[in-house]
Structure 1
Amino acid sequence: MFSSMKNFLNRHRRKFVIGGVVIAGGMIAFRYAQRKLFEYQEAKAREFFERTRRTQHFETTERTCNQAIMGLGPNLIEQILKNLDADRIVADLRNNPNDKIVLWNKLKVLAIARLCALVYACSMLVITLRVQFNILGGYLYKDAIGNVEQVTSELQHSYVALIQHFLSDGCNSLCQLIETKVEHILSSYDLSRKLTLTETEQIFCSIQMAINSDANDPSTHLAKYVYPSDLPASTTSNALFEKMFNETIDMLESSDVSTLNANNVSRGFSIVMDNIADFYFKPVNGTAAVENGYSPKHITKASIESSTKVDDGEAGETLPNINTVSIPIPKLIPIINGLAKQQFNTTTQPPSLSTSLMTLYLISEKVKILGANTYEVFSV
């Protein structure tokens, strides 16, 4: 019996060896594949958790950024109104002075300059803080995953506080530039002139073109307005702060940011014209009284009824032809000044012009993409 088994094994030895090798190799291959599958699943799980963690951190950064923008909005509007102070001229006009023509011309410039400053400043604030917070967020995320603390709370405070320059000196420079351009454009518009909606829109287009062609155009030199030229003395010895500062300057001076700000400004002027157009298009009553002089209150659409009346031969309200309606400049100025003076408030309805502009820029898809791209670059 044992002899038969021995002979059997000898005859099939090669088969057993090959079979054993195949079985062992299969087991090894199976275990290798199993291990690789486990490693792959583990890597995908880590990647998923890391992506989720990064997404949550980015969303938190965006919310913080939005809160900071809306929180600084009132300060920015207040600074614009302070730099382009029309209230003093309005107060003088109430006293019926001898030089009221001169005062009306000054008020004409300041009222329109205020609106233009709102359009530019709101966009510049939103873009700057969007870039700034996402750069900071990227660095903080790298600290979190590396379990280190390179970006200290003091550094964060100093970095975010850089925007304070824009709320003072930077805004002053912006308002001066805009006032100069507005004064030049409006020098050919006499107070006795009436303006159609198209002509009013052309004024804003001319101002925008004049600002864009200036050597200190805010879109191409955004960093010059929003940040100081030199680092704060308390941060000059901090290499990381200097690095973050220079990286932020590079981002703000990039062609993408310049194009985005110019695009925002164009959209902002569209919002301005929509608000002004309401006063041209309001149906009017042929028997309504005309408001003469300047009202220090919030200007109502009734103030332009006499200049927009179109008689259709029927009694009651009539609807003006928007292409032919014209408003005298002295009646248009209070409307424009009233729009610019509206307080920045996120709770009032309908929203003020400044609130509408800030919200427009905040929800802009291109601004959101800029923030996401910035965070992606600095978080890896």
Structure 2
Amino acid sequence: MIKTIELFAGVGGFRIGLERTNKILEKSVFNIVWSNQWEPSTKTQHASLIYERKWGNSNHSNINIEDVEVVDIPDHDLLVGGFPCQDYSVATTLKNSKGLLGKKGVLWWSIHRILSEKKNKPKYLILENVDRLLKSPSNQRGRDFAVMLKCLDELGYAVEWRVINASEYGYPQRRRRVFFIGYHKSTSIYKKIQKDSLDEWITKDGIMAKSFPISNNFITEKQFDLNADLKDVSDNFGIGEKISPFLNSGVLYKGNIFTAKVNSNFDGKKATIKSILIKEKSVPSEYYIDKDELDKWEYLKGAKKEIRVSSSGFEYNYAEGGMIFPDSIDEPSRTIITGEGGKSPSRFKHVISTPKGLRRLTPIELERLNMFPDDHTKHELVSDTKRAFLMGNALVVGIVEKISLTLAKEID
């Protein structure tokens, strides 16, 4: 049994993926022994309420992770979480301290604190973030990811990563996120990685390659070392560079980095918006667009070339391309964003055409686009607009399921 903790849990996307792997394998491989979810910007903890209703609160923490003592977190074999994208620079050296730490409020450092202070470090990590992590910030391309890799390298982990667009592997949403997996030096998987075959780890030997196959030919590749100390990486990595050295796949092993741009290799059936739609008779009337609102929707979705005036009175030329309106139900959806909910016209909300007229997507349909169970986010204290927000913050559960299934088989 792999004892697991879920950080930045949201409404439990990682947990659902792990539990589905248990079901496929017909045994309890992954056991969630502790979870944490805290939303600092809201009084009502909507995501945590949903999480606790589904799994109870006996092993669940609903306080700021920065205020949790590491001693109060159970020992675990696997740490998972989709943490916020922030500025990960190293801010200071603490006097009489345990080393370099970043700015308070930057939640990567909470993960780092757990890994640093745990005597029995987790053997495996599965982490998720937006793909711009690989190239941020704009004035030091790739620094943030380099800081993370350096931290994990110093803590004794090898790391592999891949940017995955869910729709390229048969899932119903074009959602692009970077997933990275860490293997502690005490594990057999770490010992399988060899410096002279890092490219083969990406193409065929790694957990990512086995979960999400790629074409064998790299579009481009790079190899470099990350041997500077952590503060130097934070201060100097990427300065003067216009593009990040980190490509959409890669592996870190003992300070050596091999990274390559790869293409997905999938010939299975691809899901579409049509495949996740509920029966039209079940759609509440408020999801249909009023005819007197249609002009606003068409304007926001359409191409524009106009003069606008800033709040300070400055005139400027504004232009943007048009979007397909309504969305094609014969293709995967665009990425769900946190502003998906609510009746107000928007450029980015999904709108589909039905026999009864144009309408927005319902909460169940948004859940299905992320492969959550129907009505997973339904709660008497959670509005439909907030349910859409939560799905905009969630991940595609099927990706976690694939990675964890491959990892479980590899460990076994």
Q: Give the TM-score, by structure 2 length.
A: 0.25
Give the TM-score normalised by the residue count of structure 1. Answer: 0.26
| Structure possessing the higher radius of gyration over alpha carbons | 1
Q: Which has the higher strand share?
A: 2
User: Which of 1 and 2 has higher RCO (CA within 8 Å, sep 6+)?
Assistant: 1
